[in-house]
Amino acid sequence: MSTGVFVTVDGPGGCGKSSVVTALDTVLAARGHHVHPTAEPSTSPIGVFTRAHADQITGRALACLVAADRHHHLDHEIRPALSQGRTVVCDRYLASTLVLQRLDGVPEDYLLALNTGIHLPDLAVILTAAPKTITARLTARGAHHRFEYDPGTPARELTLYQDAARTLGRLGVRVITVDTDHRTPTEAARQIAGYLPDRTGSVGRATAT
Ligand SMILES: Nc1ncnc2c1ncn2[C@@H]1O[C@H](COP(=O)(O)OP(=O)(O)OP(=O)(O)O)[C@@H](O)[C@H]1O
Ligand SMILES: Cc1cn([C@H]2C[C@H](O)[C@@H](COP(=O)(O)O)O2)c(=O)[nH]c1=O
């Protein structure tokens, strides 16, 4: 039985997901959560392969790899952590698939079929910022992969994330959108934590490892 909380954080490349996830882990830990931070692609062999080749493998093939990594990630890392009462915070999940793979031209119904049976998040966070803010952050930090090379992509991603939020909502997922313009990662993290239970003082929720 799952007793933990599953939180996913998605948003356009360079909008600040990793920064917010790091801050959220700290904020939630201070509120009594036993946090299990993770990310997709995962650190499993499928995830490592996917991340290493996502610039060369495109379309349905990349969609299949990402989905295979997700099913493996769930079986071997996420569900076990949830069953120990952990709060799993995942940097990228289904919403990223519904955006990045659609940028590659893959239809949404195909993506949802590949993801049949996945554990849906208790809270799906979509980070946003103005396209010019995202472009400035990407320029300052540098692009990590092909989805971040084209200056027109942040605006397209923002539109597709709105579609993804509606799709997740239809699936019964609680979705919140958090604007990271003029907010530090810690401020964004505090806003997200406000949607989760405060576990300070709760006893025996997680199994120590
Ligand atoms: N709230 C913020 N205010 C100002 N700068 C930020 C903020 N959040 C992140 N940054 C900066 O923007 C850049 C991109 O942030 P980060 O790497 O966290 O984004 P990301 O969405 O995880 O990127 P990717 O999708 O490529 O993994 C980094 O240089 C980071 O320091
Ligand atoms: C979860 C997920 C990932 N990808 C691809 C896109 C990038 O090549 C990497 C993620 O790198 P980042 O540093 O976290 O931005 O994985 C994808 O195509 N679809 C997905 O659902």
Q: Please check the confidence at residue 203 and state whether its pLDDT lies above 90.
A: no
Structure tokens given for 35 = 């946090």
Q: Supply the residue whose CA is at minimum distance from atom 4 of ligand 1.
A: 184
Taking the whole predicted model, whether its pTM rises above 0.90 is answered as yes
- Name the band, by pLDDT with cuts 50, 70 and 90, for residue 201: confident
- Ligand 2 atom closest to Cα of residue 98: 21
Rounded to the nearest integer, the mean pLDDT of the chain is: 95
CATH architecture of 5-193: 3-Layer(aba) Sandwich (3.40)
- Name the band, by pLDDT with cuts 50, 70 and 90, for residue 67: very high
- pLDDT at position 208: 38
User: According to the 3-state scheme, what is the secondary structure of the chain?
Assistant: CCCCEEEEEECCCCCCHHHHHHHHHHHHHHCCCCEEEEECCCCCHHHHHHHHHCCCCCHHHHHHHHHHHHHHHHHHHHHHHHHCCCEEEEECCHHHHHHHHHHCCCCHHHHHHHCCCCCCCCEEEEEECCHHHHHHHHHHHCCCCHHHCCCCHHHHHHHHHHHHHHHHHHCCCCEEEEECCCCCHHHHHHHHHCCCCCCCCCCCCCCCC
Q: What is the pLDDT of residues 44-62, one digit of tens each?
A: 999 999 999 999 999 999 9
Q: Please check the confidence at residue 176 and state whether its pLDDT lies above 80.
A: yes
Distance (angstroms) between ligand 1 centre and the Cα of 60 equals 28
Work out the average pLDDT over 88-117.
Answer: 98
The answer to whether 27 touches 186, Cβ cutoff 8 Å, is yes
Percent above pLDDT 90 for the chain? 93
Structure tokens given for 161 = 């994330």
- The ranges assigned to domains in the chain are 5-193
Q: Supply the residue whose CA is at minimum distance from atom 15 of ligand 1.
A: 16
Work out the average pLDDT over 63-71.
Answer: 99
